[in-house]
Amino acid sequence: MIVLKFGGSSVADAACMRQVAELAREALPQAPLVVLSAMGKTTNGLFAAAKAAETGDLAGAMEQQRLLMAAHRKAASELFDEAVPEALDGTLTELFGELELLLRGVALLRELSPRSMDAIASLGERLSTRIFAAFVGGAWVDARTVMRTDNVFGEAAPQQQAIRILADQHLGPLIHVDRIVVTQGYIGATEEGYTTTLGRGGSDYSAALFGAVLGAREVQIWTDVEGVLTCDPRVVPEALPISELSFAEAAELAAFGAKVLHPATIQPAVEAHIPVTVRHTQKPRGRFTTISSEVNTGRPITALASRGPITVLTVSSTRMLAQSGFLARLFEVFGRRGVSVDLVATAEVSVSLTVEADVPLRPLIQELASFAKVEVHEGRAIIAAVGERLKSTPGIAAQLLSALGDINVEMISQGGNEINLSIVVQVEHTHEALRRLHRVLVAGIR
């Protein structure tokens, strides 16, 4: 079997859904499980409605509810040329009735718990999949009967062992050549049956989990880009689609905000050795990226990514640095305060490290001040060069530094897995640095 996951932009309206239906039908010989997101920006609309209700603005919440209902009914009636089947019509009425009840409850209490929010948010995927399943004549499965999670509402963790058993019961038997099975991304349920969500953008994760427990041959993530690109095309217009990417490279890039993949997506699929492909719904015969456990791309650098602004802290202690225990003491403070450190570089008398720009620094620095001197450099950016072959290509750091020319590098660090060479520059140099590196290290070597 294979898993096809379509994001919100791929099912935004009737025209998009037709396109998705065509792709699902083409996959019929491969026993497709179709995992859908909510239509377009529906999840945002549901959050807005819930927040309005929480402030007691029932009229505002109801207005949102009407807008969502109109959009879904319009899509359904366009798909069925005005003749929406009675069963689907009834289901839509029921689901919007449920939404209205939930919103009224929230408005009455002026209280929106994460559990209530998840119940409301789940409607987006439940609606889109009902419409789509009716249109393609597929089997509809409530993901909540399979996607067992813990009870951390809003960011629930899937329980893969339980999911495997539930999938064997409720999903596996339906999956068959020449049948389209449709289910929801993003949503799940606790053992007690409370609706949960995996966190915003969680549908990719759902798709990978379903693929893993069902032993899919492939998990296809259909979106609005031709796979993963070598760099952000808004910065580097000559960025190229990457045909093969390793899981480790994908994880590094995802950590730098490469928009196409939820980092957590990767885990269940990696472990099950299932390739994940990222494809363009509007250009199904175009280029795409295959992400798999091992690849051997030709270039030492597969892609470039950046993150900024970030803050660099340079911590020194003339007294203690050379002694043992300084780093332990230093990182203990970061750990206790829950501040995550991204890059670290050490010199004889100082340690430089990077943290997110929005970390509250004052209490941290106050505490560090008792045993170290701290300099703060704001307005910096991390540029990461990612590639499996970095580890076996000598001289790459020298090439990288020379490609940067007169752009000053303030920190340099190679990750322990040796596939990420990161540098820190002034944030205003980020774009120029990416362009120079791309020209020499990515486009230059083909």
Distance of CA 340 to the CA centre of its chain: 19
Residue pair 90/66 in contact by the 8 Å Cβ criterion? no
Choosing among ligand ASP, Mg ion, none, which partner's interface includes residue 38 (Cβ < 5 to 8 Å by kind)?
ligand ASP
Pairing mode of beta strands 411-414, 420-426: antiparallel
Q: Which two tokens stand for residue 340?
A: 């995550």
**Rg of the chain over all Cα atoms, to the nearest angstrom:** 24
Interface with Mg ion in residues 8-37 (CB under 5 A): 8, 37
d(CA 256, CA 354) in angstroms, rounded, equals: 14
Contact pick of 1, 4, 6, 8 for ligand ASP (by CB under 6 A): 8
Choosing among Mg ion, ligand ASP, none, which partner's interface includes residue 373 (Cβ < 5 to 8 Å by kind)?
none
Interface with ligand ASP in residues 120-159 (CB under 6 A): 124
Binding residues for ATP are 5-8, 223-224, 234, 259-260
Query: Considering beta carbons, is residue 7 or 211 the nearer one to ligand ASP?
Result: 7
Q: Shortest distance, CB of residue 26 to ligand ASP, whole angstroms?
A: 23
Query: Considering beta carbons, is residue 261 or 437 the nearer one to ligand ASP?
Result: 261
Nearest to 418 by CA among 259, 274, 246: 246
With CB under 6 A as the contact rule, which of the stretches 143-151, 197-205, 355-363, 378-386 interacts with ligand ASP?
197-205
d(CA 271, CA 293) in angstroms, rounded, equals: 9
Choosing among ligand ASP, Mg ion, none, which partner's interface includes residue 227 (Cβ < 5 to 8 Å by kind)?
none
Query: Considering beta carbons, is residue 208 or 304 the nearer one to ligand ASP?
Result: 208
Interface with ligand ASP in residues 203-262 (CB under 6 A): 203
Choosing among Mg ion, ligand ASP, none, which partner's interface includes residue 281 (Cβ < 5 to 8 Å by kind)?
none
Interface with ligand ASP in residues 42-81 (CB under 6 A): 43
The answer to the question of residue 188 lying near ligand ASP (CB under 6 A) is: no
- Note the residues at the interface with Mg ion (CB under 5 A): 7-8, 37
- Note the residues at the interface with ligand ASP (CB under 6 A): 7-8, 37-38, 43, 124, 185-186, 200-203
